[in-house]
Amino acid sequence: MTDLADNPLLQPWDASYGLPPFEQVMPAHFTPALETAMRAHNAEVDAIADSAEAPTFANTVAALDRSGRALTRIELLFHNLCASETSPALQAVEREMAPRLAAHHNAIRLNPKLFVRLDRLHTDRASLSLRAEELRVLERLHLDFTLAGARLSASAKQRLAEIVARLATLMTQFSQNVLADESSDGLVLRSERDLAGLPEQVRGAAREAARVRGMSDAWVITLNRSLIVPFLTFSDRRDLRERAFKAWVRRGENEGPRDNRPIAREILALRHEQATLLGYRNFADCALVDRMAKTPAAVAKLLAQVWEPAKAKAAAECEALRAMALSRGENIALEPWDWRYYAEKVRKARYDFDEAAIKPYFPLERVLAAAFDCAQRLFGVRFVAQPHLKLYHADVRAYEVRDRDDRPVGLFLSDNFARPTKRGGAWMSAYRRQSRVDGEVLPIIVNNNNFAKAPEGEPTLLSADDVRTLFHEFGHGLHGLLSQSTYERLSGTNVLRDFVELPSQLFEHWAFEPVVLERHARHYQTAAPIPAALVEKLSQAQRFNKGFETVEYVASALVDMAIHAQEAANGVDISTFEKDELTRIGMPREIVMRHRLPHFGHLFSGSAYAAGYYVYMWAEVLDADGFEAFVESGNVFDPTLAERLRRNVYAAGGTVDPAVAYRAFRGHDASVDAMLAKRGLVEAQTRDLSAAAHSARL
C-alpha cells in the first residue's frame, strides 16, 4: 500500500483531461506521495535558487511557475476530497499534513537565495523588455515573497515567524470561544406561552436543540444565527426577545475563560508589530497593498458614499416599523430586539408570498441548464455531458466545455447534493488550473453545492436563494474555465481578494432576468411558465429592509478599517473602541453591527478578511455597475459587451491589474450608483427610467 512504486498518486494520470484515478486512490496514499512531491519541489526550487547563471525571467520566474507541478496535482486532489468526499482516515491525514504543507510553501517564500534573484529581476524590471503578463507575474511573485518577510534580516524573520505562529493559536482560541458561546443554551423555553408566535419549523429546531442537550419538555434557542434570528423574527414575547438578543450580541464578551477581549487585543498588537516589521505604518496599510482598493482611503471613500444614504433609508424603515407597531396597538420605543419582529410584519403585509409556491418552477436540472444556456448566449461555450468519466461520487456529473469553434476549453464537474462526507456551504474549486507555460493545460473546475437531494424518482426543487447560489458558484466556475493565462500563478480565480467576487456576483444577475425566466423557469409538472405576478413580488421583496442590512454591514466594515488603522503597540480594548467609534459615526440606536468585535470571526478567527470586511461591497459596486452596462445596451446578452467581458474579466485572471481590466470591459471606472440603486438607497427617478424598468430583477 505505501510502496511508492504502487502509489497511484505518483504515477502518470492518463484518463481524459488528466483526471485523477479516483477509484484507486486511498487515504493512506497521500502522506507518502505528498512527502515525495514536496522533496521533488524543493529540489526544483533549489536548482533555481542555486543556479550559477545570472537570473533571467525564464530561469527564475517562469521556472518557479513551472515548479511543483507534481505537488500541485496531488494537493488539489487532496483539498478537494477533504472538502467534498472526506472520511475519518482522510481527516487524520489532513490534521497531519495541513501544517506541513503550509510550512513547505512558506519556507520557499523565505528562501534567501531565491529572493535575491527575484529581487534583482524586480529592480531591473523596466529594462528587461518584459511582456505585460510577464511583468505582472514578476510583480505579484515579488510582492508575495515580500509580504511573507523575504526582505527581512534573519532575526526579524525569526520574530515574524513567532508572530505568525502566535497569531494562529490566538485566532483558533477566538473562533473556538465564539463557537462555544454560540452553542450555549441561550434561552430555554418551557411552555406554550414562551413559544408564542414561533412557526412550526422554528419550534422543531428548538426542540431538537433541547433534545441534543438532554432536556425533555423544553425548547432551546441557542445563540447560533440559524436559530436566534428566526426567534427574533417571530417571537411575540418582547421580554424573551430582549433577553435572547442581549445574550446574542455579548458573544465573546463575557468575563471568564471564554472572554475574547484580551485575545483580540493581543491579535491587534501582533498585527501592528507585523506591519511595522514589514515597513508599514499600520496593519490596514499593509493589508491593502495587495488589494484592488490599494489604500484605506479608497475603502473609506466607498463606505462614506454608502453610509449616509443607508442611515436615511434605515430611518425611513424604522418609521414604517413604528407605524406597524402602533397599528397593532403597541406604542413602544423601537429597540434593537424589536427590529426583525416588526420588519417581518411589514414584509408579510407588503409582499407576502410563499417559498413553496416558487420552488416548483426551479427544478435543479432546469436551473443548471439555464446557467449553461446563459454562458452559451454570453460567451458561446457549450457544455457537453460526459457520463462515461469515472469520478469520486456517483452524484457528480462531468461536462466538457467547448468553445464556438468546438475546441475543448476545459472540464466542468457539477457536485450539487449535501451528504455527510461533504462540508457545508457552496464553493468553486479546481482539480487542475489552466496554464500554458509548458504547453496548453486545460482546467478541471468543480462547483459544490449543498442542496437536499429529493427522494428517488422526484426532481430536486430549488429555492430562490439556491438558484442564486448556483449561478454565483457557476460564475466562479466560468472564471476558472475561461482563463487564458500563460502562468498558473495568474490563472482563473488567482486575483485580488476584492476582485474575486466580481465574476460570481455578476453572473447572479442573469438568474432572474425575465428573458431567462421565460425560457427556463417552468413548472416541473405542467411546464407552465412562472407567473409574472410571482416574479414581480420576488423582485420587490429584493429591496425590502436594505437600509437595515446596509447599516449593520457598513458599520462592521467601518469599525474593521478603523481598528486596524490603530497604531498602539499594546493593542486596544475592543469594547471601548467599538463604542467610541460607533458614537463617532452616528450609528442608529435601533441597529447593532452585523458582527460586534468580540465575535467578529472574519477579523479575528483568521487574517484574510482583517481590514477586508469591505470586500463584499467593493465587488458589489463592480457587479452592479458591470451589469448596468448590459441593461443600458437594451440587451442582457449584448454580444459586443459579452465579448469584452469575457476577454477582460473572465479570461484575464490576474494577468492584468483589476482596475485596468474592469475599465477595458466597461469603458470607464465603476460608479457606486448602480449598487446604491440596487439596494434602494437612491431614488429611482435619478436613474434613466427605461433602464430601471428593464432591470426589474430579483
- Helices 615-633 and 546-563 cross at an angle (nearest 10°) of 130
Q: In sequence order, what are the residues at sequence separation of 6 or more whose Cβ sits closer than 8 angstroms to the Cβ of residue 547?
A: 310, 311, 312, 313, 314, 315, 316, 317, 680, 681
Cell of 58: 525564464
Cell of 352: 407576502
Measured from the CB of residue 385, what is the shortest distance to Zn ion in angstroms?
A: 25
Is the sign of the CA dihedral 153, 156, 162, 164 positive or negative?
negative
Per-residue CA distances from 367 to 314, 410, 468, 587 (Å)? 34, 21, 10, 41
Is the sign of the CA dihedral 174, 180, 181, 182 positive or negative?
positive
Choose between 93 and 500: whose C-beta lies nearer to Zn ion.
Answer: 500
Per-residue CA distances from 238 to 231, 234, 242 (Å)? 11, 10, 6
Choose between 322 and 594: whose C-beta lies nearer to Zn ion.
Answer: 594
Choose between 218 and 292: whose C-beta lies nearer to Zn ion.
Answer: 292
- Helices 546-563 and 574-585 cross at an angle (nearest 10°) of 130
Measured from the CB of residue 443, what is the shortest distance to Zn ion in angstroms?
A: 17
Choose between 260 and 504: whose C-beta lies nearer to Zn ion.
Answer: 504
Backbone angles phi, psi at 552, to 5 degrees: -65, -35
Cβ–Cβ under 8 Å, residues 492 and 476: no
DSSP H helices in 542-600: 546-563, 574-585
DSSP H helices in 191-295: 200-212, 225-234, 238-249, 261-277, 283-288
Choose between 230 and 480: whose C-beta lies nearer to Zn ion.
Answer: 480
Choose between 524 and 616: whose C-beta lies nearer to Zn ion.
Answer: 616
> What are the counts of helices (DSSP H) followed by strands (DSSP E) for the chain?
28, 7
Cβ–Cβ under 8 Å, residues 385 and 397: yes
Measured from the CB of residue 472, what is the shortest distance to Zn ion in angstroms?
A: 6
Cβ–Cβ under 8 Å, residues 480 and 492: yes
How does DSSP classify residue 647? I
Q: For residues 628 and 676, what is the distance between their CA atoms, to the nearest angstrom?
A: 12
Provide the Cα torsion 90, 92, 98, 103; round to 10°: -130
Measured from the CB of residue 589, what is the shortest distance to Zn ion in angstroms?
A: 33
Q: Has 488 been annotated as catalytic? A: no
Q: Classify strands 382-385 and 427-432 as parallel, antiparallel or unpaired.
A: unpaired
Choose between 485 and 504: whose C-beta lies nearer to Zn ion.
Answer: 504
Q: For residues 287 and 298, what is the distance between their CA atoms, to the nearest angstrom?
A: 13
How does DSSP classify residue 18? G
Residue ranges that bind Zn ion, judged by CB under 5 A: 501, 504
Choose between 73 and 472: whose C-beta lies nearer to Zn ion.
Answer: 472
DSSP H helices in 418-545: 464-481, 502-511, 514-520, 532-541
Choose between 94 and 620: whose C-beta lies nearer to Zn ion.
Answer: 620
How does DSSP classify residue 453? P
Edge-to-edge, what's the strand order for the sheet holding 397-402?
A: 382-385, 397-402, 408-417, 444-451, 427-432
Q: In sequence order, what are the residues at sequence separation of 6 or more whose Cβ sits closer than 8 angstroms to the Cβ of residue 450?
A: 417, 418, 422, 424, 425, 426
Choose between 389 and 621: whose C-beta lies nearer to Zn ion.
Answer: 621
Measured from the CB of residue 542, what is the shortest distance to Zn ion in angstroms?
A: 19
Per-residue CA distances from 129 to 63, 125, 134, 135 (Å)? 18, 8, 9, 9
Choose between 400 and 508: whose C-beta lies nearer to Zn ion.
Answer: 508
Measured from the CB of residue 570, what is the shortest distance to Zn ion in angstroms?
A: 37
Choose between 427 and 544: whose C-beta lies nearer to Zn ion.
Answer: 427
Measured from the CB of residue 427, what is the shortest distance to Zn ion in angstroms?
A: 8
Q: For residues 271 and 566, what is the distance between their CA atoms, to the nearest angstrom?
A: 10
Q: Classify strands 408-417 and 444-451 as parallel, antiparallel or unpaired.
A: parallel
- Residue nearest to Zn ion as judged by C-beta position: 504
Residue tagged active-site, from 75, 344, 473, 590? 473
Element (H, E) at 431: strand 427-432
Measured from the CB of residue 184, what is the shortest distance to Zn ion in angstroms?
A: 31
Backbone angles phi, psi at 149, to 5 degrees: 105, 15
Q: Give the residue numbers marked as catalytic.
A: 473
